């Protein structure tokens, strides 16, 4: 193959809008030779529709006599899920680790792998192997198994073994680790201030274990690591990708970029320039997940480079060879008539075994039956995220749904909710609220450490009624440390439906028998 005959889109893994293969989409895919496609919640409405979409996409490849697409999703479980039914979403990495059961981590991964393969996908962009040592890290948090290297390594390895045993391709992310940053790379370019020795001792071991397990794919980090490469973020760094990942650690599989449309990359240059630098640094497959115009810009830029840059052409050929070799292991998906897999039972078991009572000084948990005779207030931030990868096209289970379910058997429960980052008017409304009318208050924090106004509101409530308030950290457990004045505190390690069901059962027990919404 020469420079003129090679289509550089073979190195692209792209996203699109829509839930079916329309004539317009088919024509678009026929124009290019994309190596892969990624599906988001915007593409998925039901399990049956998901399967039909996946099979239809692969039919395009089959009709052209080509190898299957790498058909990917981000199915980490927890807050990063593409499941069309929240009841089918496994709790996330941190919740799984909190069970203390590596076999359960393996089981969760096998179930996820089986579901994705049944749907027709062959690549799962998981597990997250970042060690979340910084509690103020906005983009990782409970997506990580733990805040220490050993637990991330042990549970991450169990998880990827489960996926491997189903046949789904796994992808470890985000190399060399995004656990010690203070900015979200979806919005801006983070900088990791770790020393080289800290990266080697804390952040690399989970990836080293994954490589020993022959993980097929590793995703790059859109963060800068000045102690390793003072000039380039991970995705664009030949030191990080070639010298360390390839040569020092011996990884021979596919290196995937994180989404090249993210804010961190916009600070580094145009989509075309960054795509070129990423491939030259060592990336094999470029994720461009949302915008057709940017896909075409990158394609045009790289196609021009192919004609004049022989070193770049050689890099592309090396990448294409690795992609093609991996694709030869893939099978074509089958259509299903209906979907029925026992996902919810395992998800519920994980949620039940992961939830933790951190304090209960006044014996409010479970809530005594006599308290239910008077009004109870459920209040707190909405169960949603400010992190793009967690919310793309998705309507999560929310505190409103929790309240709706509870009112079926506990009619005295009221609701007062606010946004992740409420404005001053909301703060004043809460400050003027009459909390004396409630026998008990349940207040939910969602990453309060990242949102000062949310933190202030919760402090107001705890000041008014410390002895009759149960504090719940529905996402990062570090929120509990922000409110030492709370006499009762619970961590759920996630706000998916199964996590909140576990919370309701913990708090209300036999007093609540209805579904949670």
434: left (phi over 0), alpha (psi -120 to 50) or beta: beta
258 is catalytic: yes
- What is the spatial distance between Cα 234 and Cα 219, in angstroms, rounded to a whole number? 10
Strands 286-288, 12-14: pairing is parallel
Q: Of 258, 259, 398, 479, which one is the catalytic site residue? A: 258
- What is the spatial distance between Cα 224 and Cα 42, in angstroms, rounded to a whole number? 30
Contacts of 287 (CB under 8 A, 6+ apart): 13, 14, 38, 256, 257, 258, 259, 260
- What is the spatial distance between Cα 287 and Cα 284, in angstroms, rounded to a whole number? 10
Looking at 252-375, list the stretches that DSSP marks H as alpha helix, in order from N- to C-terminal side: 263-266, 271-281, 292-308, 310-327, 343-354
Give the Cβ contact number of residue 368 at 10 Å.
Answer: 12
Element spanning 113, H or E: helix 102-119
DSSP state of 247: I
Q: For the chain, first and last CA: distance in Å? A: 57
Q: Which residues partner with 288 through β-bridges?
A: 14
Q: Strands of 334-478 (E only): list them.
A: 356-360, 376-381, 413-418, 440-445, 469-473
Q: Of 7, 114, 180, 186, which one is the catalytic site residue? A: 186
For the chain, the maximum distance between any two Cα atoms, rounded to a whole number of angstroms, is 79
Q: Angle between the 310-327 and 271-281 helix axes, to the nearest 10 degrees?
A: 70
Is the dihedral angle over the CA atoms 6, 314, 330, 25 positive or is it negative? negative
Which pair of structure tokens corresponds to residue 367? 């809530």
Strands 229-233, 224-225: pairing is antiparallel
186 is catalytic: yes
Which residues form the catalytic set? Answer: 186, 258
């Amino acid at each position: 193959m020469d420079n003129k005959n090679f289509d550089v889109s073979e190195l692209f893994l792209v996203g699109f809008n829509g839930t079916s293969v329309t004539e317009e989409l088919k024509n678009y895919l026929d124009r290019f030779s994309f190596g892969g496609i990624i599906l988001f919640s915007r593409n998925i409405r039901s399990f049956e529709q998901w399967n039909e979409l996946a099979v239809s996409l692969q039919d395009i490849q089959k009709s052209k006599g080509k190898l299957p697409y790498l058909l990917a999703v981000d199915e980490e479980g927890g807050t990063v899920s593409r499941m069309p039914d929240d009841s089918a979403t496994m709790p996330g990495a941190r919740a799984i680790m909190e069970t203390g059961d590596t076999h359960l981590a393996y089981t969760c991964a096998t179930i996820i792998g089986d579901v994705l393969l049944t749907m027709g996908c062959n690549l799962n962009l998981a597990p997250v192997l970042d060690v979340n040592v910084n509690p103020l890290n906005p983009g990782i948090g409970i997506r990580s198994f733990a805040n220490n290297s050993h637990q991330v390594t042990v549970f991450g390895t169990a998880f990827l073994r489960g996926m491997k045993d189903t046949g789904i391709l796994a992808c470890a992310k985000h190399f060399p680790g995004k656990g010690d940053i203070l900015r979200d790379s979806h919005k801006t370019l983070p900088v990791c201030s770790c020393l080289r020795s800290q990266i080697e001792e804390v952040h690399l071991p989970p990836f080293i274990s994954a490589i020993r397990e022959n993980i097929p794919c590793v995703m790059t980090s859109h963060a800068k690591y000045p102690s390793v490469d003072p000039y380039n973020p991970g995705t664009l760094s030949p030191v990080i990708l070639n010298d360390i990942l390839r040569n020092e650690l011996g990884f021979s599989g596919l290196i995937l970029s994180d989404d090249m449309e993210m804010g961190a990359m916009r600070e580094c240059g145009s989509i075309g320039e960054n795509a070129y630098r990423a491939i030259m640094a060592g990336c094999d497959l470029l994720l461009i997940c949302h915008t057709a115009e940017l896909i075409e810009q990158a394609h045009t830029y790289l196609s021009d480079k192919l004609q004049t840059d022989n070193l770049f052409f050689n890099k592309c050929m090396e990448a294409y060879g690795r992609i093609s070799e991996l694709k030869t292991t893939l099978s074509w998906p089958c259509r299903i008539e209906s979907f029925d897999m026992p996902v919810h039972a395992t998800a519920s078991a994980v949620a039940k075994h992961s939830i933790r009572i951190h304090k209960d000084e006044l014996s409010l948990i479970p809530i005594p039956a006599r308290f239910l005779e008077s009004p109870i207030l459920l209040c707190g931030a909405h169960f949603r995220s400010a992190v793009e990868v967690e919310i793309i096209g998705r309507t999560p289970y929310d505190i409103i749904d929790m309240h709706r379910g509870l009112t079926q058997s506990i009619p005295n429960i009221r609701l007062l909710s606010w946004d992740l980052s409420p404005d001053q008017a909301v703060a004043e409304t809460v400050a003027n609220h009459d909390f004396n009318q409630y026998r008990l208050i349940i207040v939910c924090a969602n990453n309060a450490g990242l949102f000062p106004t949310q933190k202030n509101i919760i402090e107001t409530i705890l000041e008014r009624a410390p002895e009759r308030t149960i504090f719940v950290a529905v996402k990062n457990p570090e929120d509990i440390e922000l409110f030492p004045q709370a006499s009762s505190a619970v961590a759920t390690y996630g706000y998916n439906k199964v996590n909140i069901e576990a919370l309701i059962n913990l708090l209300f027990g036999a007093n609540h028998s209805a579904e949670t919404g």
